[in-house]
Amino acid sequence: MSSRPSAKPAAPAPSSKVKTLTIDDRLVSAREDESILDAARDNGIQIPTLCNLDGLTPVGACRLCMVEVKGSSRLFASCVTMVGEGMEVVTDSERLQKYRKTIVELLFSERNHVCAVCVSNGHCELQNLAQTLGVTHLTVPYRNPKLPVDASHERFVNDHNRCVLCQRCVRVCGEVEGAHTWDINGRGIGARVITDLNQPWGSSETCTGCGKCVQVCPTGALTEKGKSVREMSKRTRFLPYLTMMREDRSE
Amino acid sequence: MSKVKLATVWLDGCSGCHMSFLDMDERILEIAARVEVVYSPLVDLKEFPADVDVTIVEGGVSSEEDLHKIRMVRSRTKLLIALGDCAVTSNVPGMRNTFKVDDVMKRAYFENADLKQQVPCEVIPRLLPRTRPVHEIVPVDVFLPGCPPPADVIFGALVSLLDGTTPDLSATRFGR
Ligand code: SF4
Ligand code: SF4
Ligand code: SF4
Ligand code: FES
């Protein structure tokens, strides 16, 4: 019995479709194609996440959901790591807390987050994470990069100062709306979300104006025009619902 | 028992954090019974005294004066509290950080001025290239984020610190 986690669902074993493992010392069972994150949540164990969103393909972009797996010194992003037989998972430890806090700090330092004057103040997933993880200040220096705001779309704004590169916009637009307007351009610290061929959003020929990207964006990066400080709350509930309806129809 | 010597200083902030401090209403009497306010914008005193136990700082470090002040304050204070987002993150005063100081001055004193367009060269302290959070300049002991941090959090934190326990900061966050 190997307890080595794999990035992909294990090849279907003929007999066992259910895996048994422990999460935080609790014995749980999960379908073999389930991620550690889903298995944890099914059992009421909460792991912090940012890029993950019910109804979108997990990409493992933010790494906040990291967990420890006994027998390996590596950390595993639980949203993209499938359960395995006999796995022993730890979702909370001093080491994990330290890494999670550092990730949140780096996200704040990489762009210009000024929560006090942000349209998403009070409704923002990054802000919530900082609070729940106890990030009261940054131990890394602020970069203060000069970043553009694209307000060329009739109804929406893209403010790169607030983007955390979670790729939710990319996924919802490609996977659910089917327009594939968004992409990520560049690498590392220079990575930016772009619309179409890196042109102003307002000039996009593929965007249908559905607003799904705006609703799933966890921060104040994609917002509706005309919102003032604190006014931009998002509605993400449509997503699992849409996916469910589609699955129903395809059955 | 001698009272704890408390000071508050105001760097680049809007005074909102000091207002939130006062917002604890009559509970301020509880604090007053245990501390002696030795320096504050609310106290008429020019020189920051030596041997202060606790100093609360509002505001980011924006100018040469702020820089001088915070270094002096740190050297004379046992426990330094960064109060509010401007002190903790540089917040709104730091929004100029993506521009050059010259451009900021031009914007403020020429483009946005109708009369007497000139950069002030006397009395007004010179701006630093960037507004910095306090802890990027001197060590900070306690961080109270929020714009401003709620009065309850400030009160609770002060009581905890006076009691020698760790303040509970779960009710405040960046922005709020
Ligand atoms: S996007 Fe969130 S974290 Fe960033 S400034 Fe806005 S409220 Fe703060
Ligand atoms: S509004 Fe445009 S860019 Fe956003 S999800 Fe819909 S089609 Fe894609
Ligand atoms: S724009 Fe929003 S949804 Fe898209 S990557 Fe940035 S933070 Fe995520
Ligand atoms: S939630 Fe798993 S990597 Fe972001």
The predicted structure's pLDDT at residue A1: 40
pLDDT tens digits, residue range A87-127?
Answer: 999 999 999 999 999 999 999 999 999 999 999 999 999 99
Residue A2: pLDDT over 50? no
Report the distance separating Cα A52 and Cα A124, nearest Å.
15
- Tokens, residue A91: 């979702």
What's residue A76's pLDDT?
98
Q: Is B37 inside a domain boundary?
A: yes
Query: Which residue from B minimizes the CA distance to A115?
Result: B175
Helices (H) and strands (E) in chain B, counts: 6, 7
* Mean pLDDT in residue range B52-64: 98
In chain B, % of residues over pLDDT 70: 99
Answer whether residue A4 shows pLDDT above 80: no
Which residue has better confidence, B151 or B2? Answer: B151
DSSP string, B53-94: EEEEEESBEEEHHHHHHHHHHHHTEEEEEEESHHHHH-TGGG
Domain presence at residue B25: yes
Atom of ligand 1 nearest to the CA of B174: 8
- Distance (Å, whole) CA A139 – CA B145: 14
Cβ neighbours of B130 in A, within 8 Å:
144
What is the span of the domain harbouring residue B81? 4-95+128-163
So what's the architecture of A18-92 in CATH?
Roll (3.10)
B121 part of a folded domain: no
Q: Which residue of A has its CA nearest to B90?
A: A114
Model's pTM, two decimal places?
Answer: 0.93
Q: Residues near ligand 4 with C-beta < 6 Å?
A: A 49-52, 60-65, 77, 79
Taking CA–CA distances from A126, the nearest residue in chain B reads B174
Q: What is the pLDDT of residues B116-131, one digit of tens each?
A: 898 888 888 999 999 9
Q: Report if residue B115 sits inside a domain.
A: no
Characterize the bridge pairing of strands A66-69 and A75-77: antiparallel
User: What average pLDDT does chain A have?
Assistant: 93
Amino acid at position B46, single letter: K
Q: Give start-end residues of each CATH 3.10.20.740 domain in chain A.
A: 18-92
Chain A CB contacts of B135 under 8 Å are 137
B57 touches A at CB < 8 Å: no
CATH architecture of A97-236: 2-Layer Sandwich (3.30)
* pLDDT tens-digit readout, A124-143: 999 999 999 999 999 999 99
| Residue from A52, A150, A163 whose mutation best tests the ligand 3 pocket (most atoms within 8 A of CB) | A163
Cis peptide before B148 (omega within 30 of 0): yes
Ligand 3 atom 3: residue of nearest CA: A217
Residue B144 forms part of a structural domain: yes
Note whether B101 contacts A: Cβ–Cβ < 8 A. Answer: no
**Which residues in chain A are classed under CATH 3.30.70.20?**
97-236
The pLDDT value given to residue A26: 98
CB proximity A219 to B under 8 Å: no
Atom 2 (ligand 3) nearest CA: A217
Partner A contacted by B92 (CB < 8 A):
yes
- Looking at residue A16, its pLDDT comes to 61
Identify the CATH number of the domain in which residue B13 sits.
Answer: 3.40.50.700
- Taking each helix axis from N to C end, the angle separating A94-110 and A125-133, rounded to the nearest 10 degrees, works out to 140
Q: Which atom of ligand 3 is nearest to the CA of A166?
A: 8
User: Is the Cβ of A138 closer than 8 Å to some Cβ of chain B?
Assistant: yes
Residue B76 domain flag = yes
Number of domains in chain B: 1
